[in-house]
Every structure is written in C-alpha cells, then in structure tokens.
Amino acid sequence: MLSGIGIPGLILILVIALVIFGPKKLPEIGKAMGQTLKEFRNSTKDLTQDDEAERKKQ
C-alpha cells in the first residue's frame, strides 16, 4: 500500500498535513480516518461472508 510512497514521502505528507490542519486537528482527523477504515473493513468482511454463505447454499 505505501510501498510506492516510501518514508520520505510519508514524512512530507505528514508535514504538509500539520501545516494545513494544525497540531490540534491532526488527532481528530486521524481518529476519524481510523474509524472510517474500520467500518469499511467490517463492511467488506460482511459482504465476503454473505457471498460465501450464498455459495454454500447452492
């Protein structure tokens, strides 16, 4: 996922985010992104489980 970015690119992105959003907003943004990823993962897992259950019925 991050293999194309590398460590210097990741540091640059974090510095730009710090300048744009400020140090007080970054933890809130990180928490919101984490929750979004968790919900996406759970939804994807549910969909794959539904597909597997459907295949077992046939």
- Where are the domains positioned within the chain? 23-58
Dmax of the chain from CA atoms? 55
Contacts of residue 13, Cβ cutoff 8 Å, sequence gap at least 6: 5
The structure tokens 């400020």 sit at 22
Asked if pLDDT for residue 2 goes beyond 90, the answer is no
- R_g (Cα) of the chain, nearest Å: 18
Name the pLDDT band for 40 (thresholds 50, 70, 90).
very high
8 Å CB contact between 18 and 26: yes
Which pLDDT score is estimated for 17? 87
Which pLDDT score is estimated for 3? 60
Which pLDDT score is estimated for 39? 94
Average pLDDT (32-54) is 86
- Both structure tokens of 44: 């994807």
With H, G, I as helix, E, B as strand and everything else as coil, classify residue 10. Answer: helix
